[in-house]
Amino acid sequence: MLRFVTDELQAAEDCGERVGIIGHVPPSYDGSNPVVNGPNLFYSIVQRYSPHVIANVFFGHNHRDQFYLYYNYPSSKNTTFFTPGTYNTSTPLMTAWLAQSLTTLGGLNGGFKYYDVDASSFVIYEFHNYWANISVAKNDIAVPWSFLYSARSTYDPNNTWPATAPLNATFWDKVTGLMEQNGTFVNTYNLYETRQSPSTPNCTSQACHAEKFCYMRSGSQVQGAACGNKNGPN
């Protein structure tokens, strides 16, 4: 499967084309019985072809509104060297966007997002999230969809990121830096993961904040497994 991915990416590179990768389970997922080698190899592939070929990476599975970052780790011909719990944050390469679920499984509110995408480069300039408040649901009444938040207004409230610049890995790396400085951003992220569900786990401690940063910066199971929560990035 990974050989197919590399063949397609190499063909795209040879032709000067852009590629979007869409998968289900994110390779950084630290759930039950994770496989180590595959996610590490996928990280190496993303590193090799980002950002000049790979435009975006999309995953789901977690049911939460999340993102992960891939960085430029030192590598050799055969492997990429990962140190669990550490990140080479000097060179962010690619963002993995995790779509929230429409389903309410896990005590979540329903949600969906749409992206503003450049038609020529396929980079993302903005996304808009909507939610359904399941707490008001009744058998004979449809739950309305309401706007929840957009990326720029929430994570760049002072408009420090140029309007002409895409929301690339550098942008999200800066967001994680802001979260380290201001826990309010972490609390917001934590609440939006579940679309403001009343079942949202509390995450106000420094340890929980550090765990959140860890997952955001973990594009491989090796790093994800070192983030503290062995039950997965929830």
Question: According to the model, what pLDDT value does residue 91 have?
Answer: 87
67 - beta bridge partners?
97
Higher pLDDT among residues 34 and 79, named by residue: 34
Token representation of residue 222: 């090796």
One-letter amino acid at 16 equals: G
User: Backbone phi, then psi, for 66, in 5-degree steps?
Assistant: -140, 175
Question: According to the model, what pLDDT value does residue 114 have?
Answer: 96
Which pTM value belongs to this model?
0.89
pLDDT tens, residue by residue, 110-166: 999 999 999 999 999 999 999 999 888 877 778 899 999 999 999 999 999 999 999
Q: What is the mean pLDDT of residues 105-109?
A: 91
Dist CA 233 CA 159 (whole Å): 29
Question: According to the model, what pLDDT value does residue 85 have?
Answer: 46
Q: Which of the four pLDDT bands, split at 50, 70 and 90, describes residue 218?
A: confident
Helix (H) or strand (E) holding 153: helix 151-155
Q: Three-state SS string across 5-46, please?
A: HHHHHHHHHHHCCCEEEECCCCCCCCCCCCCCHHHHHHHHHH
Contact predicate 222/36, CB 8 Å: yes
Dist CA 4 CA 185 (whole Å): 39
Return the closest-CA partner of residue 104 out of 189, 25, 199, 29: 199
Q: Which of the four pLDDT bands, split at 50, 70 and 90, describes residue 76?
A: very low
Q: Three-state SS string across 204-218, please?
A: CCHHHHHHHHHHHCC
Dist CA 126 CA 159 (whole Å): 13
Predicted confidence (pLDDT) at residue 82 exceeds the cutoff of 90: no
Predicted confidence (pLDDT) at residue 87 exceeds the cutoff of 60: no
Using the Cα atoms of residue 82, residue 73, residue 22 and residue 233 in order, give the sign of their dihedral: positive
Sequence length of the chain is: 234
**Which residues, other chains included, contact 182 with Cβ-Cβ below 8 Å and sequence gap of 6+?**
none
Dist CA 175 CA 186 (whole Å): 10
